[in-house]
Amino acid sequence: MADWHTTVTPPALARLLAATRLPEPPGIRRPAYRTLAGQIRLLVSEGRLPVGARLPAERELASALELSRTTVATAYETLRTEGYLRSRRGSGSWTALPEGAPPPSDALHPVPPDEQGNTLDLGVAALPAPQPYLGEAAVRAVEQLQAYAAGHGHFPTGVPVLREAVARRYTERGLPTAPDQILITTGAMGGLHLVQRALVGRGDRVAVEAPSYAHTLQALRIGGARLVPVPYSWPGGPRRRPVWDLAEWGRVLHGAAPRLAYTIPDFHNPTGALVDEEQRRALLAAARAAGTVVLADETTAELGWGVPDGTALPRPMAALDRAAQVVTVGSASKLLWGGLRVGWVRAAPSLVRRLATERVYSDVGTPVLDQLIAAELMDEALLDRVRAHQLDRLRATAAAFTTAMPARLPDWAYAEPPGGLSLWVSTDGLSGAALALAGERAGVRIAAGNRFGSDGAFENHIRLPLTVPAPAVPAAVERLADVAARAASGGRWSADDSQPLAV
């Protein structure tokens, strides 16, 4: 059990349960305790109840739900037997996940194209390069390279021309920025690692969205951070767009006092959610009161393919921050090309200097040629064309999924996002880990939802990348449906897929 966890009040749990419906087998009526246990199990597996959340006492919940205490007690005992609830005399009961769930596959780790063979890769969400723009930018960058070749080639803060381009882009987005507030890093993950090492000590708490970007969650764990999940809220169910649960954010920031809060407010990975300015201000106020630094991940901020033309986007988190408590990480890799390993940190100049000093013990600096190519692509006139090119790709693929999914997987649900690189799909109770396992055997790499939960939640979800070419989507959905049919067993599978486990 985590050292800090949410306490769920009886009214709050009653509201969650009222919005949670279980599929009813034809001709069968469940006993009330089984319905209650199934609803709580689903809330935990989908991450709407975080793992480690303390549930109300049996008598309190029975009163709130107008059920007998025996019904609630039997439901709790059922959940304890299944591994979804743990209890300790005098401490109450808190949510958990059962041991022995299928291990997640490695679908989030890229496989080189020459090793993929006939494998359909639905694990990695990364766009191809925008051609001919990338090749043309590379030619111009090589012409400039000679001017840098006479020196040692180490630029701990980044090549000046790129720092200026990134600062200019922030200013255009409503956040006045000077080059000395920018540190160029080797990809966004390089920036995240630097910020984590500088601001988070081993054992410090870090509040994270649930779900969130899988690689950052794992990096924080490896660094010794204690993750405190804050679930997204899905008003209206999985076919509606998620929003921040500000009440839960307030409880976590006040109760856990995390050192850092990691958020992806712009076209969130994996859900694609876009957080409005009002919610951003509310979170910043709560973080300020708690003494928490906000780390805003803006790697997908340019990917608003579903935003109507002329719509004003929310300003960056740091534009709403008067207390200089926001550190921002961005990337050229999501919009421009995954093979262009260029990211950046935007922070106060003093922190930028500190990070530049400390990075020399890891990578010294980002490759100069990559920086020059990125600077060329971020030219004011060219960037709009590159962005339009990439957003057209994402928009076409999203439309193709919207057409193909209902025909072959009608019970799977997702909210079409306003942007981002992926769809966050609820698999109608089918384990994402089971899908990933079956997919491995069928030549389909699938990103199981539990990789995106800090505590293994979101078992009944997968992430589908919008980086599949639109013409290939119907065949991809067809293969995915075949994998789903193979994996369907009423719940989770053991390592031997011939032995389904009951849920």
The beta-carbon contacts of 114-121 under 8 Å, at least 24 apart in sequence, are 117/443, 118/443, 119/443, 119/444, 119/445, 120/443, 120/444, 120/445, 120/476, 120/479, 121/445
**Per-residue pLDDT reduced to its tens digit, 250-290:** 999 999 999 999 999 999 999 999 999 999 999 999 999 99
Calpha distance 76→84 (Å, rounded): 9
Cα separation, 69 vs 57, in Å, equals 10
Give the C-alpha separation, 335 to 303, whole Å.
7
Tokens of 126: 């990364």
Per residue in 400-429, pLDDT (tens digit) is 999 999 999 999 999 999 999 999 999 988
pTM confidence score = 0.81
Partners of 464 in the β-ladder: 423
Q: How far is CA 385 from CA 65, 310, 381, 392, 419, in A?
A: 56, 16, 7, 11, 17
If you average pLDDT over every residue of the chain, what do you get? 88
Which residue segments constitute the domains of the chain, with CATH numbers given? Answer: 10-95 (1.10.10.10), 113-126+384-487 (3.90.1150.10), 155-361 (3.40.640.10)
Give 503's pLDDT tier (boundaries 50, 70, 90).
very low
Model confidence at 17, pLDDT cuts 50, 70, 90, reads: confident
Cα gap 417→438, rounded to integer Å: 27
Which pLDDT belongs to residue 86? Answer: 92
End-to-end CA distance of the chain: 22
Per-residue pLDDT band at 501 (split at 50, 70, 90): very low
In this prediction, residue 125 carries a pLDDT of: 92
> Is residue 496 very low, low, confident or very high in pLDDT (cuts 50, 70, 90)?
very low
325 Cβ contact partners less than 8 Å away, ≥ 6 residues apart? 284, 287, 288, 292, 293, 294
473 alpha carbon, distance to own chain's centre: 23
CA dist., res. 308 & res. 314, Å (int): 14
Q: What is the mean pLDDT of residues 301-327?
A: 92
16 pLDDT band, cuts 50/70/90, is: confident
For 405-431, b where at least 16 C-beta lie within 10 A, e where not — what string? beebbeebbbbebbbbbbbbbbbebbb
Identify the pLDDT of residue 129: 94
Q: What is the DSSP string of 138-194?
A: HHHHHHHHHHHHTS----TT--HHHHHHHHHHHHHTT----GGGEEEESHHHHHHHH
pLDDT at 430: 86
Q: What is the pLDDT of residue 2?
A: 46
pLDDT band at 39 (very low <50, low <70, confident <90, very high): confident
The answer on pLDDT for 370 being more than 50 is: yes
In the prediction, which pLDDT does 102 show?
Answer: 45
pLDDT at 23: 59
In tens, the pLDDT along 62-77 reads 999 999 999 999 999 9
Task: State what percent of residues in the chain have pLDDT above 70.
Answer: 90
| Contact between 217 and 227 (Cβ < 8 Å) | yes
Predicted confidence (pLDDT) at residue 491 exceeds the cutoff of 50: no
